[in-house]
């Protein structure tokens, strides 16, 4: 698998569009159980990423992912900046320029491990890890783009009845139950946007 | 932001609110005057509530001391962003910066008071953390 320049730019634009289009929804999820800035923060971060095009897409895929991560770290402004930014940076660091599916699976494993360390968290605490971990299992198990996107959406839904024990929502204790985790929703949206953009490459 | 040129451990205050960060810094100054390098940062890059890595890196620079820098944070994102900033420092500096697990206002005042007596970075961190332990 390799992504040419046009495909890399399409991937960046798809990721950014998913955050910009869903900014209000993410913010309203975050108003329920957090500090109400997640949509705005992610939108700001990805607008900053878009502003680094076209140069961003001139980079190799690993370098591009690292650059996206760094921009998110610097611009998002909430805990999700370092968390999502770390995912992209570590994914970039772990990927070779010419990658196979196995490379991507191994790199995603490392990136998820880095997110766990950064947040000192594990799956089950009502955070983005509750999407990343099950989606990775489907991906590593051979799931296609559709299966990955479906698992991402379902995993985000499954955070609704969970009790938050990490992140701002954990302050609410049991009142965090009954609301979808905003970070899980944004992770799910990013994954869906990525696989849709990549599937287009695989089939075109 | 403000600093001094003393060799004591520097203090950085990181809050989601620039007003809280600035206010806590005012309280520190009232206690220790200019005996301690001090800097604060608060808000996201658009000036809203939040914390940002670039601001934290600038504050570490402003409060830099050869004895090191102790960072006091308020809520989760401030801690995560501070740890991220710490990792982005040059290696020789990284080892001399710590994030304290203490309440931001009380921790900053206690840490600065400890620092003003010439204590080590480890002692400054311990004092801030012990107070509420």
**Does the pLDDT value for residue A43 go beyond 70?**
yes
Burial class (CB in 10 A: 0-12, 13-18, 19+), A66: buried
Please pick, among B16, B24, B109, B116, the residue that the annotation labels catalytic. Answer: B16
Nearest to B16, CA basis, from A129, A181, A36, A89: A36
Q: How many domains does chain A fold into? A: 1
Chain A interface mutation, best of B14, B18, B56, B76, highest count of A Cβ atoms under 10 Å: B76
| Mean pLDDT calculated for residue range A158-181 | 95
Name the residue among B54, B103, B52, B102 with its Cα closest to residue B80.
B52
Residues of A in contact with B50 (CB under 8 A): 37, 41, 77-78
A89-112 residue pLDDT tens: 999 999 998 899 999 999 999 999
- Compute and round to an integer the Cα radius of gyration of chain B: 13
> pLDDT tens across B20-57, in order?
999 999 999 999 999 999 999 999 888 889 999 999 99
Binary contact (B44, A82; C-beta < 8 A): no
* Range of the structural domain that residue A179 is part of: 5-203
Chain B residues with CB-CB distance to A75 below 8 A: 45, 52
Of A35, A37, A82, nearest to B81 by CB-CB distance is A82
Per-residue pLDDT tens over the stretch A124-154: 999 999 999 999 999 999 999 999 999 999 9
pLDDT digits (tens, 9 = 90+) for A58-96: 999 999 999 999 999 999 988 899 999 999 999 999 999
Domains of chain B: 10-125 (3.40.50.510)
Beta bridge mates, B12: B39, B71
Q: Is the pLDDT of residue A113 over 90?
A: yes
Look up the CATH number of the domain holding residue A178. 1.25.40.340
Q: Decide: helix, strand or coil at residue B93.
A: helix
Active site residue B3: no
Candidates A78, A118, A119; nearest CB to B50: A78
Closest-approach residue (CA) in chain A for B42:
A77
Helices of type H across chain B = 18-32, 53-62, 76-88, 91-94, 104-116, 121-131
Structure-token pair, residue A118 = 């950064």
Mean pLDDT for the stretch of residues A15-34: 97
Is B60:B34 a contact under the CB 8 Å cutoff? no
Prior bond to A54 cis, omega within 30?
Answer: yes
Pull the structure tokens for residue A29.
């999820």
Kindly determine whether residue A119 and residue B45, on different chains, have CB atoms separated by under 8 Å: no
In contact, B25 and B31? CB cutoff 8 Å? no
What are the residues whose beta carbons fall under 8 Å from the beta carbon of B34, sequence distance 6 or more?
B4, B6
Share of chain B above pLDDT 70, in %: 95
Banded pLDDT at A2 (limits 50, 70, 90): confident
What strands lie across the sheet with B97-100, from one edge to the other?
B38-42, B10-15, B69-73, B97-100
Q: How many CB atoms lie within 10 A of CB A121?
A: 19
């Amino acid at each position: 698998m390799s992504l040419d320049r046009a495909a890399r730019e399409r991937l960046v634009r798809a990721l950014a569009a998913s955050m910009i289009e869903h900014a209000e929804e993410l913010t309203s999820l975050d108003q329920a159980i957090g500090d109400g800035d997640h949509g705005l923060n992610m939108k700001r971060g990805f607008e900053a990423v878009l502003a680094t095009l076209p140069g961003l897409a001139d980079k190799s895929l690993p370098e591009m992912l690292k650059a996206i991560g760094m921009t998110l770290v610097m611009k998002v402004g909430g805990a999700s900046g370092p968390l999502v930014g770390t995912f992209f940076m570590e994914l970039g660091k772990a990927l070779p320029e010419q990658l196979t599916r196995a490379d991507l699976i191994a790199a995603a494993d490392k990136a998820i491990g880095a997110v766990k360390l950064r947040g000192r968290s594990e799956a089950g605490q009502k955070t983005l890890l509750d999407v990343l971990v099950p989606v990775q299992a489907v991906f590593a198990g051979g799931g296609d783009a559709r299966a990955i996107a479906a698992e991402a959406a379902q995993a985000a839904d499954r955070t609704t009845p969970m009790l938050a024990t990490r992140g701002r929502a954990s302050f609410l204790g049991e009142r965090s139950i009954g609301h979808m985790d905003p970070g899980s929703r944004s992770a799910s949206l990013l994954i869906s946007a990525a696989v849709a953009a990549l599937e287009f490459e695989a089939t075109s | 932001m403000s600093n001094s040129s003393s060799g004591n451990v520097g203090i950085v205050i990181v809050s989601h609110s620039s007003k809280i960060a600035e206010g806590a810094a005012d309280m520190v100054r009232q206690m220790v005057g200019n005996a301690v390098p001090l800097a604060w940062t608060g808000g996201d890059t658009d000036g809203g509530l939040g914390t940002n890595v670039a601001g934290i890196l600038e504050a570490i620079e402003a409060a830099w001391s050869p004895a090191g820098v102790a960072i006091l944070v308020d809520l989760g994102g401030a801690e995560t962003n501070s740890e991220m900033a710490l990792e982005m420092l040059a290696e020789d500096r990284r080892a001399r910066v710590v994030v304290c697990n203490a309440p931001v206002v009380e921790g900053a005042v206690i840490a600065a008071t400890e620092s003003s007596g010439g204590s080590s970075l480890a002692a400054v961190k311990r004092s801030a953390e012990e107070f509420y332990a």
